[in-house]
Structure 1
Amino acid sequence: MFDNLSERLERSFKILKGEGKITEINVAETLKDVRKALLDADVNYKVAKTFTDTVKEKALGQNVLTAVKPSQLMVKIVHDELTQLMGGETAEIDLEGKPAVILMSGLQGSGKTTFSGKLARMLKTKKNKKPLLVACDVYRPAAIEQLCVLAEQIGVPIYSEPDSKNPVKIAENAIQEAKAKGYDVVIVDTAGRLAVDEEMMNEIAAIKKAINPNEILFVVDSMTGQDAVNTAKEFNERLDFNGVVLTKLDGDTRGGAALSIRSVVNKPIKFVGTGEKLDAIDQFHPSRMSDRILGMGDIVSLVERAQEQYDEEEAKRLQKKIAKNQFDFNDFLSQIAQIKKMGNLKDLASMIPGVGKAIKDIDIDDNAFKSIEAIIYSMTPAERSNPALLNGSRRQRIAKGSGTNIQEVNRLLKQFDQTRKMMKMVTGSKMGKMMPKMK
């Protein structure tokens, strides 16, 4: 995500490195390169030009402190302007009302149905809501079935009328169902439609009028670049939607949609889809996205993901075991499971400042823990609880049983031993004693 843009922007800032001060000449040269980088990332031309003009005006108007290098100042100005370009503040979703109604709109194949499931799961697990999914796509074969499968996976009820071809009536009936059964959020999944299809656009306008939703979200595939922005503009003219959802931001996208769409339609990006899994959904934070584009990482999001998996009782139990040097392979497996729940490994690593650039060309497989888990699962329960039992013959057996070799088993045991010593050292230090007080 944004890898090419990040690289190009970094090269642009190098023009100012070594310069003693900001001048009209070196700023013009830098921003010419920045504008090219934005255009190559499929950013709208008018947006790119306005952006660089604003940055130039602010850069030339700054009095550079002797402690701040011109290139550092330019990075700061570009960061602030990127944040404003993408909306400035984080936009919240409106969940007022009993029930709150969210209407999905967008083109065919933009990912509305999958996002509906992701949003329902997020509202259930993070906001403690009782969502109801509504299947109003009466045209696409298996659309209802797809939503049913998603609903079952996340444990959320679904309302559908398989024999009906009237999405307006289905949506109205679903809201009555939600009121009767106490659901507090209704998520209405609709059919994909082209903005030029007058009949289909009239239909979604009729659904909007009938159910008066709190939120109309326009779901768009970020891989489509500038086409996404143009489509958003046409849909907004008809529906006056409340916010944008960018899906497939984990793919080979140049990022132009994320950087242009806010300026063109004047509506905030509220969510982004970052993978295929049902937990691969993030609220959109303009400032954090600017950090990532400029290679600064995203520590806040990383900490938030870690906190979602944080179990206070488990942490206390683990700390006692570490203090007694009793941390074993069962605990190790538990820690791996928590890391895996946090999301895509490469995405997590890229949130650490400086790491994203270092691993740009490295393929980090989500199955990176597979061989480690295979080795541990090939141990007996006694061996997992007491690693000291693992002599040469046992290691040979484990290597054979896990489909690995003795070198991999020995390497894991060495790393495990080093990890255990380090954890005990940290727990015994003053910092370790402070950890239970820190959340």
Structure 2
Amino acid sequence: MAFEGLGERLQATMSRIKSKGKVTEADIKVMMREVRLALLEADVNFKVVKQFINQVKERALGSDVMKSLTPGQQVIKIVKEELTALMGGDNQKINLAQKPPTVIMMVGLQGSGKTTTAGKLALHLRKNFNKKPLMVAGDIYRPAAIDQLETVGKQIDVPVFAMGDKVKPQQIVTEAMDHAKNEHLDTVIIDTAGRLHIDEALMDELKDIKEIAQPDETMLVVDSMTGQDAVNVAESFNDLLDITGVTLTKLDGDTRGGAALSIRSVTEKPIKFAGMSEKMDGLETFHPERMAQRILGMGDMMSIIEKAEETVDEDEQKELQQKIKDQSFTLDDFLDQMDQVKNLGPLDELLKMMPGANKVKGLDKMQMSGNEIDHVQAIIRSMTMDERENPAKLNASRKKRIAKGSGRSLQEVNRLLKQFDEMKKMMKQMTSKKGRKKNPFGDMGLPF
């Protein structure tokens, strides 16, 4: 996950100062030296690092902090606020035209994930804004670029306008605009050509396309794995095309995160989306404050809740909550919940977004993201409906049959039944008046 190394360094630094009852100027200087090293190692632009350190230091040495009863926590609050500001402050929404069609021009270097991101964005706009998008195959140079976009279009059921690779991109875009109007499609997403490096011919072509399409959003797609080079690319595209927003791809990969912390300051253009997986629904709105909280180990409950709201059926959850209240929650209900958890994404990544997760030992070794959930589901599916509803009936011979049918060991079957029993006891405590505990997942009904 992006920022993992940076997060660990910053969290360690913050924890040392948080416990101090009194913070001196020397403490601040030591902390700032460690923060500077952590940012530089994360490949953050050195000018951006210098500006960030100066701003934090100036605020941290202020009288409000030094005279505070909790100076360490005040310093952490300042670091979080400045990290948020560094990445853009408030979340910036995508520009949508008041009079359709909305035109979005995707630009970037070859290999940045531009074509896939065009599909992800089309799906995002259809699901969240009820738009009817059209994707335009404007890359006539890269082998199979048109085929790739058409494949993506079929995958998400979004039409693709293509005229082959013998027609100039300028003409393709002109006719695509007419086609969108004639078919009453309210969003046009143009997949333009990329190069292995920025060149004059590429920029001239993109300028022509921008003149023809008059896009509401000129979206630069940047591979965050390229680190500092991503910042240079963003700066060049912005100088020549005046981009309106940035999408960072591969933020779920092993990237140091320096691009996300630098691009906003260098281009003064907002990061609007982050590519968090290879799946077509793996495009997330970029929230600077939430990202800053995650970097500092403060969790990101809002993102978890939003993920759950997208995947959890409201009526089913009301029914589930009633079952929990009535103590009639069964293994069959648990099976349904496991499916919903899988839809939320890898469990280890979800847990890292929980407040205080950085303090949980062994979290990095959790492997519950896929195989173990599949194993649990296999065990439950090897039971009869009666056994799922009444696990107390599971004697030794039935457990052996279930283990054989699921391909798992008898010990795993026993462990699952014990965990389920403990979970039901926990649910009873959570729903009792005397022992009510706040469920961090709110009213979503997820059994955590």
Q: TM-score, with normalisation over the residues of structure 2?
A: 0.91
Structure 2 distance, partners of 1:353, 1:128, is 33
Whether 2:149 is the aligned partner of 1:134: answer: no
Matches within 5 A, 1:38-57: 38-57=39-58
* Cα drift, residue 171 of structure 1: 1.9
Other-structure match for 1:69: 70
Q: What secondary structure, in the 3-state scheme, does the structure 2 residue paired with 1:150 have?
A: helix
4+ long deviations beyond 6 Å? none
The code of the aligned residue for 2:296 comes to L
Q: What secondary structure, in the 3-state scheme, does the structure 1 residue paired with 2:229 have?
A: helix
* Cα drift, residue 65 of structure 1: 6.6
Q: Deviations over 1:24-77 (max 9, x none)?
A: 333222212211111111111111111111111112223337663332222111
Gaps of 5+ in 1: none
Other-structure match for 2:121: 119
Other-structure match for 1:406: 410
The number of residues matched between the two structures is 438
Q: 1:16 to 1:319 in 2, by over 3 A?
A: closer
Q: Which residue, 361, 364, 369 being the options, matches 2:367? A: 364
Deviates more, 1:273-282 or 1:144-153: 144-153
Other-structure match for 2:348: 346
Whether 2:30 is the aligned partner of 1:26: answer: no
Q: 1:186 to 1:389 in 2, by over 3 A?
A: farther
* Cα drift, residue 408 of structure 1: 0.4
The code of the aligned residue for 1:109 comes to G
Structure 1 distance, partners of 2:24, 2:328, is 62
Q: 1:357 to 1:241 in 2, by over 3 A?
A: farther
Structure 1 distance, partners of 2:401, 2:429, is 32
* Cα drift, residue 354 of structure 1: 1.6
Structure 2 distance, partners of 1:151, 1:264, is 34
Q: 1:354 to 1:425 in 2, by over 3 A?
A: closer
Asked if the contact 2:141/2:165 (under 8 Å) is kept, the reply is no
Structure 1 distance, partners of 2:434, 2:340, is 26
**Percentage of identical aligned residues:** 53
What root-mean-square deviation, in Å, do the aligned CA atoms of Structure 1 and Structure 2 show? 2.5
Structure 1 distance, partners of 2:299, 2:19, is 25
The code of the aligned residue for 2:285 comes to Q
Asked if the contact 2:89/2:288 (under 8 Å) is kept, the reply is yes
Gaps of 5+ in 2: none
Other-structure match for 1:98: 100
Structure 2 distance, partners of 1:197, 1:13, is 44
Other-structure match for 1:276: 278
Asked if the contact 1:22/1:60 (under 8 Å) is kept, the reply is no
Q: 1:14 to 1:371 in 2, by over 3 A?
A: closer
Q: Deviations over 1:142-162 (max 9, x none)?
A: 222222222222222222223
Q: 1:18 to 1:241 in 2, by over 3 A?
A: closer
Q: What secondary structure, in the 3-state scheme, does the structure 1 residue paired with 2:65 have?
A: coil
Other-structure match for 1:329: 331
Q: Deviations over 1:229-248 (max 9, x none)?
A: 00111111111010111111
Q: 1:163 to 1:30 in 2, by over 3 A?
A: closer
Deviates more, 1:192-201 or 1:240-249: 192-201
The code of the aligned residue for 1:253 comes to T
Matches within 5 A, 1:204-223: 204-223=206-225
The code of the aligned residue for 1:78 comes to V
Asked if the contact 2:133/2:186 (under 8 Å) is kept, the reply is yes
Other-structure match for 1:86: 87
Q: TM-score, with normalisation over the residues of structure 1?
A: 0.92
